[in-house]
Chains A and B, each alone.
Chain A
Amino acid sequence: AQKVTQAQTEISVVEKEDVTLDCVYETRDTTYYLFWYKQPPSGELVFLIRRNSFDEQNEISGRYSWNFQKSTSSFNFTITASQVVDSAVYFCALSGANSGYALNFGKGTSLLVTP
């Protein structure tokens, strides 16, 4: 069985603060993929990043960075110097061979960045 846990339901920060969104996963697959999606207030789902289980390199993209640690089954997402436009719901998701690579989503973390 696969499971994704995003323990933080809501986070509120002031602009320019750094914020980390936590994601912990469970899977029996040896090959799996981890994702982060952003859902802004307009409602669409925007793909941010994909990581496969064999690639534990951390990734940085502008103000966004991701920390993948297999030892703790975590795939955390950090926004540096947050901006109001970062306000959104962020979903962590997992897919693996045993589930036909269907996405299993966490319940999401709602991030509010205030000026």
Chain B
Amino acid sequence: NAGVTQTPKFQVLKTGQSMTLQCAQDMNHEYMSWYRQDPGMGLRLIHYSVGAGITDQGEVPNGYNVSRSTTEDFPLRLLSAAPSQTSVYFCASRSTGEETQYFGPGTRLLVL
């Protein structure tokens, strides 16, 4: 099992550009989520999904869209990047009934 994978590892964007951060897991986990990590802030939940076709907002959803068309994939879309979205983004997954979330390696995003 590859676990949770994220691409790209690092991305530089200009303000206003759009992009999609990819997240995939091969553990057949129902629950997937996106967090952002900023210095001194810990990790904050952006969006999460409890299964294919079901998504919901977390603590800091503004500026981000998600969809869950398959169990394996949970992409995070930035429609119009802003410097405030400069951060490290982590995707995580867990199985229903197994409360431990496992994290991907992260994507470092810089918005100029």
Chain A residues within CB distance 8 Å of chain B? 4, 9, 33, 35, 37, 43-45, 47, 50, 52, 91, 93, 95, 100-108
Contact = CB atoms under 8 A, between A and B. Distances in A.
B58 A102 contact: yes
Q: How large is the interface on B (under 10, 10 to 19, 20 to 34, 35 or more residues)?
A: 20 to 34
Interface string B27-61: 00001010100001111110010100000101000
Given A47-B100, A50-B99, A100-B50, A105 B44 contact: yes
B33 A105 contact: no
Nearest to A45: B103
B48 to A, nearest CB: 6
A110 B106 CA distance: 19
Contacts of B94: 101
Given A52-B99, A107-B42, 7 more contacts: A9-B40, A45-B106, A93-B43, A103-B35, A103-B101, A105-B42, A105-B44
Given A101-B31, A107-B40, A43 B105 contact: yes
Nearest to B44: A105
A52 to B, nearest CB: 7
B99 A33 contact: yes
B102 interface: yes
